[in-house]
């Protein structure tokens, strides 16, 4: 019996247009399907969910990463944001960062800091945070 994981995308209200289409559309759908296929080879089932009940205002890159959550019940992770999993983003590439976070939860969940750490990371994206 394999591992079950969830990739949850919260609703977004954008104040910066450069990230408006990153987590939607055919490109993101294809990206998610590739992730599903990659993990299936390791008997890991990834389910993508969209949750419009929770809306994140996207003012910075970290907000964009916070709009994507990962769950892995068998690892005791109900919902953790991508930014918390990866820390600082080396390339400010949202799809790369999502892939890194999903793979980290899939293959090394013990390396993710506990929720209580509540870390704040500046991604140096120019947002002024």
- Predicted structure pTM score: 0.87
The domain made up of 3-117 has a fold known as Glutaredoxin (3.40.30)
Look at 50-54, 65-69, 84-88, 122-126 and tell me which has the smallest mean pLDDT.
122-126
| pLDDT confidence of residue 122 | 52
| pLDDT confidence of residue 128 | 45
Q: Are 105 and 70 within 8 A, CB to CB?
A: yes
Helix (H, G, I), strand (E, B) or coil at 102: helix
Phi, psi of 16, rounded to the nearest 5 degrees: -125, 120
The residue among 46, 48, 12, 11 whose CA lies nearest residue 28 is 48
What is the pLDDT averaged over residues 13-31? Answer: 88
| pLDDT confidence of residue 101 | 96
Q: Are 68 and 102 within 8 A, CB to CB?
A: no
Q: How far apart, in whole angstroms, are the C-alpha atoms of residue 62 and residue 3?
A: 28
What is the pLDDT averaged over residues 70-91? Answer: 91
Residue 70 CB-half CA count within 13 A: 29
- The alpha carbons of the chain give a radius of gyration, in whole angstroms, of 14
For residue 87, name the pLDDT band (cuts at 50, 70, 90).
confident
| pLDDT tens-digit map of 88-99 | 888 989 999 999
For residue 52, name the pLDDT band (cuts at 50, 70, 90).
confident
Look at 37-46, 59-68, 101-110, 115-124 and tell me which has the smallest mean pLDDT.
115-124
Domain boundaries in the chain?
Answer: 3-117
For residue 112, name the pLDDT band (cuts at 50, 70, 90).
confident
């Amino acid at each position: 019996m394999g591992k079950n994981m969830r990739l949850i995308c919260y609703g977004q209200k954008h104040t910066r247009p450069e990230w408006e289409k990153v987590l939607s559309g055919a490109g993101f759908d294809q990206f998610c399907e590739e992730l599903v296929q990659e993990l299936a080879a390791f008997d890991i089932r990834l389910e993508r969910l969209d949750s419009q009940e929770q809306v994140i205002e996207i003012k910075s890159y970290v907000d964009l990463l916070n709009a994507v959550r990962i769950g892995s019940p068998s690892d005791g992770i109900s919902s953790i944001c991508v930014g918390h999993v990866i820390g600082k983003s080396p390339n400010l590439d949202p799809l790369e960062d999502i892939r890194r976070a999903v793979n980290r939860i899939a293959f090394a969940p013990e390396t993710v800091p506990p929720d209580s750490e509540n870390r704040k990371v500046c991604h140096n994206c120019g947002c002024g945070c």
